[in-house]
Structure 1
Amino acid sequence: MGSDSEPEIEQNDELQKFLGTTSFGKQTRQKPKDDSVQKQVESTKRSVPEESRPGKASRKAKDSDDDSDDDDDESDDEDEFPVSHEMIIKTHDKAVTAVTLDPSGSRLVTGSMDCSLKLHDFASMTPTTIRAFRSVDPTESKSSNAESHPINQVIFNPISAGHILTTTALPQARVLSREGDMLVEFAKGDMYLRDMHHTKGHVSEVTTGTWHPTDRNLCVTAGTDSTLRIWDINNARSQKEVIVHKSKAAGSAGRSRMTAVAWGSPMQGGNNILVATALDGTMSMWNGEGPYSRPAAEIREAHAPNTWTSGVDISADGRLVVTRGGDDTIKTWDTRKFKQPLATISHASTSAQYASTSIRFTSNSANIITGSETGHLHILNPATLRPELVTPVTRGSALITATWHPKINQIITGSANGETHILYNPNTSTGGANFVMSRAPKRRHVDDDPNFTTDLSQGISNDAVILPGGSAPSATSFAARHPNVGLTASGRSRDPRRPHVPQTTPFAKGNPDEGYVKSQIPLSSLRDEDPREALLKYADKAKNDPLFTNAWKETQPETIYAEVSDDEEEPDKKKQKQ
């Protein structure tokens, strides 16, 4: 045996079992088993019947003669649409009317008829903690008697992820930060002015809104005052442009409610277009950069009059427009021949109950995505409007809004039962729900169990003292023995008799600084000026060059005052009445 060879040591399993695996030095943390994560992902797999895929069935019938490619076609069809798995978020009490994701797909914001916005961060979620990290009421006001209103539209800025446009039943739309704080509140117009061109803002409810496709500072809002208003978020006191829709419907007095608006720009460049629909059935199109004095094209009765056209969208190439009307139809239009629809199909509308029912093109305009009153998700062919995929999401509950995020390749839906569903495919989707469900289950610490912790918010009582050699007076936790003391895990009081603490108003969150006051409030610098000094600095000029007494300057007699010496006595004061 050579000197370089190492001696072989006989392995003793019993000795190793007795000593354990404890060792010294730097240790490598064992990774969680892939089996647990795989089971976790498989638990979210959807069980969808085969008959809910008419597009897939038709392609199979067409390729029935070629048996060699059946397996490849089936796998391609499964990966074409990310609907194999789903993650459910139950954070709202009423119908979810709007969903939006930031451009990176890391933050989700949902709006509901319960008058609240829920902010979700996928990075902080785990499979056991699927919930919102903040709830915001965008209609909160300085007035303590202010009422909350349902959310009509919520949409992230496609260029700047720090701005969220929010519209409610109020005439003032707001721009929030990605943390839910209010940044901008647009002005309200004078309701007593007849001409809407002269008002500085909407005078009635704002139904919807959207962002400019290329300018991060511009957005447009549609209101029930028959106007579209283009805003610059840097100047919220007045709109930048106002577009007044003049209705020709009988008995409308020239006004009609604006129901939907879309602002699109071709991906290959060119002029962007602005399309809006009204309650009288009219659909109008303007050049996105103006002028807005009259529409470039207009279609009377694009949908049935007095029906709510809830959804409108523009394709990525700027050539197609899709609308979903309250007359139970979906139509596509060619912007180059803006007269007759290219295709029309019958589709039951839910705009009578939910005015924010949406319809959208995908990012590459290869499909159209929308929901139905039965809770099914419809993915349509934009050329023929035939369904490529119809899959149930919330059976028996209307699916109101749906969007397909291109970066994470996931479909987010909002339904009338208050649920938000995120459909994904573990093989083709990245981030979002796939990231949450692929995380290893969190190991519970002993301190996470409230039964083994003590609530010290009310101090330590004599019952909580454990004497040496004794035992705890009760096996139950402090929270179980005192159900009305302290706070819950969400921060709410356990005592139902405790009065509601009013929320902090936006004014109290941050007072305007000196720079803001000087730049936004005219003549604000006069508050720091001494009025006596302001007048005295013109004393010499008034004496040398009088303005009002210049006519008799030469003939004005010199004023002579009586001189009083110190020896003279002061005049007697008036005697006080007795």
Structure 2
Amino acid sequence: HQIKSLQYSNTGDMILVVSGSSQAKVIDRDGFEVMECIKGDQYIVDMANTKGHTAMLHTGSWHPKIKGEFMTCSNDATVRTWEVENPKKQKSVFKPRTMQGKKVIPTTCTYSRDGNLIAAACQNGSIQIWDRNLTVHPKFHYKQAHDSGTDTSCVTFSYDGNVLASRGGDDSLKLWDIRQFNKPLFSASGLPTMFPMTDCCFSPDDKLIVTGTSIQRGCGSGKLVFFERRTFQRVYEIDITDASVVRCLWHPKLNQIMVGTGNGLAKVYYDPNKSQRGAKLCVVKTQRKAKQAETLTQDYIITPHALPMFREPRQRSTRKQLEKDRLDPLKSHKPEPPVAGPGRGGRVGTHGGTLSSYIVKNIALDKTDDSNPREAILRHAKAAEDSPYWVSPAYSKTQPKTMFAQVESDDEEAKNEPEWKKRKI
């Protein structure tokens, strides 16, 4: 999204970033995000019941006295105040309305110098001012401050808090007294503007008002125009560059004017005697010139192929190069030899290349035993007779003489079977 407004907080530790999205962000001086405003529910009709903006933002402004409070205006026809500590919901909602009670989109908004008033300029040409603590009805409302259908790009309060300046999209600059908000004090026309964020500002001593002008490409130069507040006479103008002058800021402490143009150029105007710090800190630094020392030394000419480390090998024939590559196991992609002994490094040993072959050869072996179990038991008969321990003591009285079954062959068993059990061949 396009960045529409950037503003430092009064303490200088946070920056308010307003873009074309519906969510404003606050970042610190190192560029890390501090908070992001929540997006409201766009399907709710009453914008006062949503927790945040639902449409594109236009501009934003920090509260001049309360740290961590700022304000934004949006295409959803609301002006909302926020707190940095509570990004999940706005603090209050102001809804600009026409004289007939219809919605109207605010294009710019600002706080008064004491922070008690909130001013917003709308697309129907009206300027509406609310008490910060009363969100229902505006305290001041002038319905034809500028031409209807134009975007008023800036409204700003004077340092004494009694005068309001407005930069209209109808190529005019007007001065208002909020104590008598029924007509403008002064009006100046012939100040073309083609950007919806062209600024106007007061000088630190409240004696001058400055704004920028826009031009078509190749049709002159953008100007910074100064008006006297008391008579509203054009007292001075500066040709900035061959592009439109969009942003301008007269810093009250540095006493320097910062200007931003439509071709991406930023300029700072200062007075060597009346300005403090700012641009003066970097202007006094001059570019260091390199010291040029001329010396005559004996030159040495070293041929690159004279030393072995710089000597490049001559290109051999293709056949010899292929034979050499064939002997190289990496270039010839020689397969790895089989592993001797037990497997290692994830490779199975000589028993086989797969896990199944290893199991067949080592685990699933045929261990059929054809030995006679009777002979295997009688092999230990003498040892059991000499030192009986388990079974013999139990039968020493009842059956002192060991009796074994007689060996009978399978043929004799077959002869003793009944006729109906005998196998018929």
Q: TM-score, normalised by structure 1?
A: 0.49
Match of 2:195 in 1: 354
Note closer, same or farther for the CA distance 1:322–1:472 as it changes in structure 2 (3 Å cut): farther
Q: Which whole-Å deviations, capped at 9, do the CAs of 1:427-453 have from their partners, x for residues lacking one?
A: 33232222212113246699xxxxxxx
Out of 57, 66, 85, the residue aligned to residue 234 of structure 1 is 85
**Structure-1 separation of matches of 2:234 and 2:287:** 38
Where has structure 1 moved over 4 Å in runs of 4 or more? Answer: 443-446, 466-473
Q: Which residue of the other structure, out of 121, 140, 147, is the alignment partner of 1:297?
A: 140
1:165 aligns with 2:16: yes
8 Å Cα contact 2:98/2:143 also seen in 1:
no
**Aligned counterparts, 1:298-337, within 5 A:** 298-337=141-180
Distance 2:158 2:39 in 1: 33
The CA deviation at 1:384 is 2.5
Listed as ranges, the matches of 1:389-404 within 5 Å are 389-394=236-241, 396-404=242-250
- 2:123 corresponds, among 276, 279, 290, to 279
AA aligned to 1:366 is K
Which one-letter code corresponds to 1:256 in the other structure?
Answer: V
Q: Which runs of 5+ in 2 are unaligned?
A: 215-220, 293-303, 312-425
SS in 1 for 2:238: strand
Shift, 1:234, TM fit: 0.4
2:279 alignment partner in structure 1:
433
**Structure 1 residues 472 and 403, CA gap change in structure 2 (3 angstroms):** farther
**Residue 233 (structure 1) shift:** 0.7
- Alignment of 1:201 with 2:49, yes or no, is no
Aligned CA-pair RMSD: 2.4
TM-superposition CA deviations, 1:112-157 (whole Å, max 9, x none) = xxxxxxxxxxxxxxxxxxxxxxxxxxxxxxxxxxxxx111111111
Within 2, Cα distance between the matches of 1:407 and 1:382? Answer: 20
Note if 1:256 corresponds to 2:104.
Answer: yes
Percent of residue pairs identical: 30
* Separation (CA, whole Å) in 2 of partners of 1:226 and 1:340: 25
1:469: Cα distance to partner? 7.4
Residue 411 of structure 1: how far off its partner (Å): 0.9
Aligned pair in 2 of structure 1 residues 445, 151: CA closer, same or farther (>3 Å)? farther
CA distance in 1, matches of 2:127, 2:99: 13
Instruction: Tell me if structure 2 keeps the 8 A contact 1:272–1:318.
Output: no
Which residue of structure 2 lines up, in the alignment, with residue 451 of structure 1? none
Deviations 1:252-303 (A, max 9, x none): x92222111110135xxxx731111100111111123x11111111011111
CA distance in 2, matches of 1:472, 1:433: 53
How far apart are residue 182 of structure 1 and its match?
1.4
Pair 1:422–1:338, CA change in 2 (3 A)? same
Aligned residue number for residue 377 of structure 2? none
Q: Distance in 1 between matches of 2:20 and 2:306?
A: 64
Give CA-to-partner distance per residue, 1:488-542, whole Å, 9 cap, x none. xxxxxxxxxxxxxxxxxxxxxxxxxxxxxxxxxxxxxxxxxxxxxxxxxxxxxxx
**Within-5 A mapping of 1:90-489:** 149-158=1-10, 160-248=11-99, 254-266=102-114, 272-288=116-132, 290-350=133-193, 353-373=194-214, 374-394=221-241, 396-442=242-288
Match of 1:103 in 2: none
Give the conservation status (yes or no) of the 8 Å contact 2:173–2:191: no
Counterparts of 1:445 and 1:185 in 2: how far apart (Å)?
52
Q: Secondary structure at the match of 2:30?
A: coil
C-alpha separation in 1, matches of 2:124 and 2:82: 25
| Larger Rg, first or second structure (1 or 2) | 2
Question: How far apart are the structure 2 equivalents of 1:317 and 1:470?
Answer: 83
**Structure of greater relative contact order (alpha carbons < 8 Å, 6+ residues apart):** 1
The answer as to whether partners of 1:411 and 1:424 remain within 8 angstroms in 2 is: yes
SS of equivalent residue, structure 2 residue 180: coil
3-state secondary structure, aligned to 2:279 = helix
Instruction: For 1:358 and 1:294, locate their aligned partners in 2 and report how far apart those are by CA, in whole Å.
Output: 27
Instruction: Note the C-alpha offset of 1:247.
Output: 2.8
The answer for unaligned runs of 5 or more in structure 1 is 1-148, 447-465, 474-578
| TM superposition shift of 1:167 | 0.5
Give the Cα–Cα distance (whole angstroms) in 2 for the partners of residues 472 and 390 of structure 1: 67
Given the two structures, how large is their TM-score scaled by the length of structure 2?
0.65
Aligned length: 295
| d(CA) in 2 for partners of 1:441, 1:348 | 39
**2:298 aligns to what?**
none
Are the counterparts in 2 of residues 325 and 349 from structure 1 also a CA contact under 8 Å? no
